[in-house]
Amino acid sequence: MIECKNGLFHLKNRAFSYLFRVTRYGLLEQVHFGAPVDSADAEALACQPGLGWGGSLLLNGLDTGSCSDAIPLAWSGSGRGDFRESPLELDGRPTEFCYVNHRVLKEQPAMACGLPLAHGGSETLEITLAQPGAKLYLYFTLFETALTRRAVLENEGQTPLELRKFMSFCLDLPGDYAMTTFDGGWIAEMGRHTAPVAGSRVVSESTTGFSSHRHNPGFLLHESDAGEDHGRVYGFNLIYSGNHYASAQRSLQGLTRVMQGISPANFRKTLAPGEKFETPEAVLCHSDAGFGGLSARMHRFVNDHIIPEYWRGRERPVLYNSWEGCMFDFDQRKLLDLAKRAKELGCELFVLDDGWFGARNNDKAGLGDYNVNLKKLPNGLEGLAERIRKLGLEFGLWFEPESVNEDSDLYRAHPDWALHNEGFSDIPGRNQLLLDLTKPEVRDYIVENVSRILDSAGISYVKWDMNRHSVALGARAHDHILGLYDILRRIFGPRPQILLESCSSGGNRFDLGMLCFGPQVWCSDNTDPISRLDIQGNLSYLYPQSTFGAHVSAAPHAQTLRNTPLTTRGNVSFFGLLGYELDLKHLVSVEIQEIKAQTELYKKYRRVFQFGTFRRLKNGWQVSEGPVTIAGVFHKLVDAAPAYEQLRLKGLDRSKRYLLRTRAQKIRVGQFAGLLKHVAPVDLNPNGAVLRTADKIYALEDGVEGYHVTGGALMSGITLLPLFRGTGYDANQRTQGDFGSNVYVVEEE
């Protein structure tokens, strides 16, 4: 609920309290953001500036405590004595917006500009502030586990107002914090980096035109000794897919100022008299129960209030994607053969990736054209889709609508539809340019063509890709993103049942803006399970596993050359949205059996895997829903003579009894090569036909465990079967070697 009394505003629920008040100078003083408190606690929670600090500029010379630089604020000005970073910059003029009035709204007002908003908030507080010639509206919306904030500026003067920087929120928190950001690049998304926040500003910013894999918009601010289950952690994110900026800086007074919004780099907006500008909505979340506590709150918020309502809690199909298996080299016969095999393995949706249109036989041509390649697909998409559906699979399709190859009919007809740096040569990326989505005719072209194709072939899933950064957007970057949202809304608004998975060379646009239109994102082109432990594991700080496209691909892996067991590739992908993306025709019998077992287990526990409460463990992950908990234990490089290892689960009922069982998984005998001679009665040639044949059809049991045990014991930590110690094979050990893993299913008895 939202309480407003005598200038004190209190947004509270069972998870947190957010308190601020109007000072006698009309500024918004930030009083508390943390565990639930009482409004009457405000005085005790507030910072008392007393006689103030030397060297201060005072709003009132008679009041030593009136230095805006030393007060925690919920919005700050500039050029008026607060020398900390300001969330708003106009054309060099000072800003000092003061409280005018407020309203509590049952529903958050829609964005006139078309930016997406979180849905289903309980109440919204609108605070109106003003300074001569301009009004500022701040919106605070309350959800069960998070709060959102955004701002709107209105030019009330007679002359244009130039906006150079406008953040979605700004906030001062007393205390010392570290900032954790998620940074990387192609096939190396979501590296987790922590920096102490002290006197210098710590910044995370994207300037590529999009939210980017360089710096994910989501970040954490936390006590430096916070752990997975203890300590204070704040999480922030932006419902936006364009250039973003976030910063944190500690003042002399020990107040950490944090803000987030559109990146000010190359940002310019001129507001005509009467015109308004709306910032994207930001998400603010708190937990005193460590990173795990924070993630649980963020996951709930994203699952319940970000992803499109049609897909809320709706189970996703196990898919097969043609890309890694075929790339551009396919025809209908090959696709149908793959589809048949995928169906036998337990897949439910067949996705045709790149290469189905125009002259798209490599990445140099065809982007922008929407005519189906009839040489590859003589019966058209419709004919292919029909045949796929006959096999018992749904049909999905890849698009990359925002880009154009210069070698395409579209570019030849409309070179001016692409973005160019005027006066400079073009800098293509993956041989392509971006289309200018600020042009209505470009948006219409995309909407008409994509919609036509979707409707023509009963397509139930779309992979929406975007494979380049932009240098040509400049000050148009924000309008370009608004153009993208307009396109997505027009295509998918009337077709909510189409499952939209967004992709940008993998996770180059993994953000809450895209998740408002489609419930899942392709995390990375890197499907190596060991890399995925980091990529999916780090995504899990801010995003629920129901948003992770996670596929099993071939080994050695195309991006890392790492050879990992098929079991581990499956075990890691279970903790996301399982799919398969490899050539299926070379699978041998033991691999087919293993994949069938994987899809069977995943479908049986699909709800738990996709929507269960996700927790990070010391040596793996767990998901729980109702009476079922499933844990994955993963290894990178093994030690010789490894120590006993414990599995320590979280969140169970101590007094209840559970049955724990290992997922039945097999060990390929071929991996032992010449070592087999120690156990085999005959001398085996490690490269010979006998071993190769045996490896295709025969596999060994691995680490089979089963216990009836209390929740108390499982949370205290049970000792798992030992790992291989160089003493021979035994089904009662985990014979795994490097990159091994197991999955444990734990069910209430």
Sign of CA dihedral 118, 122, 126, 127: negative
User: How far is 232 from 149, CA to CA, in rounded Å?
Assistant: 21
Please state the closest distance from residue 355 (CB atom) to ligand GLA, in A.
Answer: 8
Neighbours of 224 (CB within 10 A): 11
State yes or no: is 525 an active-site residue: yes
- Alpha-carbon distance values, 481 to 130, 239, 439, 487, 519 (Å): 29, 12, 12, 10, 18
Burial 636-667 (b: 16+ CB within 10 A, else e): eeeeeeeeebebebbebeeeeebebebbebbb
Sign of the CA dihedral with 328 first, then 332, 334, and 336 last:
positive
426 is catalytic: no
Between CA 141 and CA 149 the distance in angstroms is 6
Closest CA to 218 of 238, 244, 194: 238
Relative orientation angle of helices 380-390 and 332-345, to the nearest 10 degrees: 30
Q: Which is nearer to ligand GLA, 325 or 612 (CB)?
A: 325
Interface ranges with ligand GLA (CB under 6 A): 323, 353-354, 398, 465, 467, 503, 505-506, 522, 525
Rounded to a whole number of angstroms, the minimum distance from the CB of residue 321 to ligand GLA is 7
CA dihedral (339, 343, 344, 345) positive or negative: positive
C-alpha 80/C-alpha 70 separation (Å) is 12
Exactly one of 304, 525, 695, 702 is catalytic; name it.
Answer: 525
> Considering the complex, what minimum distance in angstroms separates the CB of residue 399 from ligand GLA?
10
Residue whose CB is less far from ligand GLA, 522 or 602: 522
Comparing CB distances to ligand GLA, the nearer of 213 and 478 is 213
Task: Find out whether 269 and 210 touch, Cβ atoms under 8 Å.
Answer: no
Chain residue whose CB lies nearest ligand GLA: 354
Q: Which is nearer to ligand GLA, 445 or 522 (CB)?
A: 522
Q: Residue 51 Cβ, how far from ligand GLA at the closest point, in Å?
A: 59
Shortest distance (Å) from residue 410 CB to ligand GLA: 17
Other C-beta atoms lying within 10 Å of the C-beta of residue 560: 15
User: Token pair for residue 198?
Assistant: 């002290």
Minimum CB distance to ligand GLA smaller for 323 or for 658: 323
Cβ 466 to ligand GLA shortest distance, Å: 9
Catalytic residue chosen out of the listed positions 82, 354, 436, 465? 465
User: What CA–CA distance (Å, rounded) separates 524 from 504?
Assistant: 9
Three-state SS at 744: strand
| Residue-wise burial string across 346-378, b where 16 or more C-beta atoms lie within 10 A, e elsewhere | bbbbbbbbbbbbbbbeebbbbbbbbebbeebbe
CB of 612 to ligand GLA, least distance (A): 27
Please give the positions annotated as active site.
Answer: 465, 525
